[in-house]
Amino acid sequence: MKRNILIGIIIIMTVALIGLLGIQIYWIKSASTVKESSFRRSVNEAMAKVVYKLERMERWRAAEINPFPGMLSFSKHLDYSLFLTPYELDSLISLELNIRGIDTRFLFGIYQPESDHFVMEKSTDYRKQMIQIGYAYPLFSSDLFTTPEYLLIYFPYEKQFLLTELWGMLLISIVLIVVIIYTFSYTIIILFRQKKISDMKSDFINNMTHEFKTPISTISLACEAMKDKDLHRSKEAYDAYIEMIREENGRLSGLSERILQAAVLEKGEMKMHPEIVDLHLIIRDVIKSIRIQVEIKDGEIRTNLRAKPSLMEGDRMHLTNLVYNLLDNATKYTPRKPEIHVTTETSGKGILMSVYDNGTGISKQEQKKIFDKLYRIPTGNIHNVRGFGLGLSYVKAIVGVHHGKITVESEMNKGSVFRIYLPYKLAD
């Protein structure tokens, strides 16, 4: 997938996600507004009923005190203490609110703005809030000769109550938003991962073509040369070409085997043939086969094999390939005069093998990726370091099937050290 297409898909998905989130938030806000309006309407209805009942209670009490109301003309309503107590008012308000489904703490008070004091109140808490943002309802508004008084009510936990009323819808909305964000993020990660795998496969094919091209060309040239009848007269030249073909054919076989190893690792079908092997002997044999590559660069390989015993249980072929890949990488990634040190020592119930080099080193960021299959440290379009990016992933797999551990320490331009722990027994 081209980079521009990938960026376009991400932009479209981002816009769509923002739109969905915006709609979801708008829906939640609208639902909250509707719920708040419904709450206010219910409070107003309940308090209108309370005010009506208070006025009726006052008239009944006044009739009891004075059966001849005509004699009380121009007088104001009775004192509250004559027909009402704070407890009765609290019960009356609670009843009307509960009828309308409002079950949250409230504070009330009968307030006279002119004298700025409360004639009656449930509690002295939240007085300021009750006056400023509480619900106010006039009392005895038909009495023209009475100082204006208001029944105030305030809900300290109004917001919390409304949220609890909306919790089901809010929970579903939050879950949907989380699912959308998670799905979007996961999709983006998958897209980048697929793009990375695609680039790695392209790089693998380019490197494979580059690796196979040289031996194939050499074999082709050798075969063409051997068609010359004059060549058969010189046995030395003829044998040299035969040896060249044999070596290049062996090289092709080795490259093919490494690709097959990658396929085996991919399927998880790596077969083990455990036996008792001498790790020191394996290291020495690998050094013999790779020493010439080091000496061509005017370098050297040193050993300090101190592990006792050096015998362990493992697969000879895989352990040989493990050591070879480490030394081969140390050689390839050291441009000039490679100095490679291979050491072993006894560590607990196993052997700790370390491979040091003075190569180009590996950055901290790349160290997390070097064991990934097909991954190679980026070098642009330069193919001065051969390989498929299979070596270290294969090494890690071999260490894993032997129940061992592998670590790497490296600094740019200061070399690297790979440490591998292998237990003496596979069961450990």
Q: Which of 235, 267, 299 marks a domain boundary?
A: 267
The answer on pLDDT for 390 being more than 80 is: no
Distance between CA atoms of residues 290 and 250, nearest Å: 15
* Domain co-membership, 411 together with 284: yes
Q: Residue 300 pLDDT > 70, yes or no?
A: yes
Q: What is the three-state SS of the chain?
A: CCHHHHHHHHHHHHHHHHHHHHHHHHHHHHHHHHHHHHHHHHHHHHHHHHHHHHHHHHHHHHHHHCCCHHHHCCCCCCCHHHCCCHHHHHHHHHHHHHHCCCCCCCEEEEEECCCCEEEEECCCCCHHHHHHHCEEEEECCCCCCCCCEEEEEECCCHHHHHHHHCHHHHHHHHHHHHHHHHHHHHHHHHHHHHHHHHHHHHHHHHHHHHHHHHHHHHHHHHHHHHCCHHHHHCHHHHHHHHHHHHHHHHHHHHHHHHHHHHHHHHHCCCCCCEEEEEHHHHHHHHHHHHHHHHHHCCCEEEEEECCCCCEEEEEHHHHHHHHHHHHHHHHHCCCCCCEEEEEEEEECCEEEEEEEECCCCCCHHHHCCCCCCCCCCCECECCCCCCCCCHHHHHHHHHHHCCCEEEEEEECCCEEEEEEEEECCCCC
pLDDT of residue 341: 94
Is residue 381 pLDDT above 60, yes or no? no
pLDDT of residue 267: 60
Statement to judge: residues 8 and 85 lie in one domain: yes
Whether 409 and 301 share a structural domain: yes
Count of structural domains within the chain? 3
**Is the separation of the CB atoms in 75 and 146 below 8 Å?**
no
- 73 pLDDT band, cuts 50/70/90, is very low
Dump pLDDT digits (tens) for 232-268: 667 777 777 787 787 777 667 766 766 666 666 656 6
Condensed to tens digits (0 to 9), the pLDDT of residues 190-236 reads 877 777 777 667 666 666 666 677 678 778 877 877 777 766 667 77
Domain co-membership, 8 together with 149: yes
Residue 324: predicted pLDDT: 85
pLDDT over 80 (residue 168): no
Residues 283, 259 share a domain: no
| 428 assigned to some structural domain | no
Whether residue 160 lies inside any domain: the answer is yes
Residue 380 lies in a domain: yes
**Same-domain check for residues 54 and 99:** yes
Mean pLDDT score across all residues of the chain: 80
Is the alpha carbon torsion for 355, 322, 378, 267 positive or negative? negative
Strands 300-305 and 339-347: parallel
Q: Measured in Å, how far apart are the chain's first and last C-alpha atoms?
A: 46
pTM: predicted TM-score of the whole model, two decimal places: 0.48
Name which residue leads in pLDDT, 184 or 416.
416
Domain that holds residue 180: 168-267
pLDDT in tens, 304-349: 999 989 999 998 888 888 898 888 888 888 878 889 999 999 998 9
- Tell me: cis bond preceding 309? Omega within 30 of 0 counts: yes
> CATH no. for residue 209?
1.10.287.130
Whichever domain contains 334, its CATH number is 3.30.565.10
The pair of three-digit structure tokens given for residue 110, joined into one six-digit string: 């009968």
Per-residue pLDDT, 383: 43
Do 226 and 361 share a domain, yes or no? no
What was the pLDDT predicted at 75? 53
Residue 297 pLDDT > 80: yes
pLDDT attached to residue 204:
63
Q: Of the residues 247, 267, 287, which one is the last residue of a structural domain?
A: 267
121 and 143 fall within a common domain: yes
Shared domain check, 158 and 10: yes
Do residues 262 and 279 share a domain? no
**Does the residue 197 lie in any domain?**
yes
Which pLDDT does position 296 carry in this prediction?
82
In this structure, the answer to whether residues 172 and 142 fall within a common structural domain is no
Q: Which of 146, 165, 184 is the last residue of a domain?
A: 165
Same domain (yes/no): 129, 7: yes
What is the pLDDT averaged over residues 381-399? Answer: 62
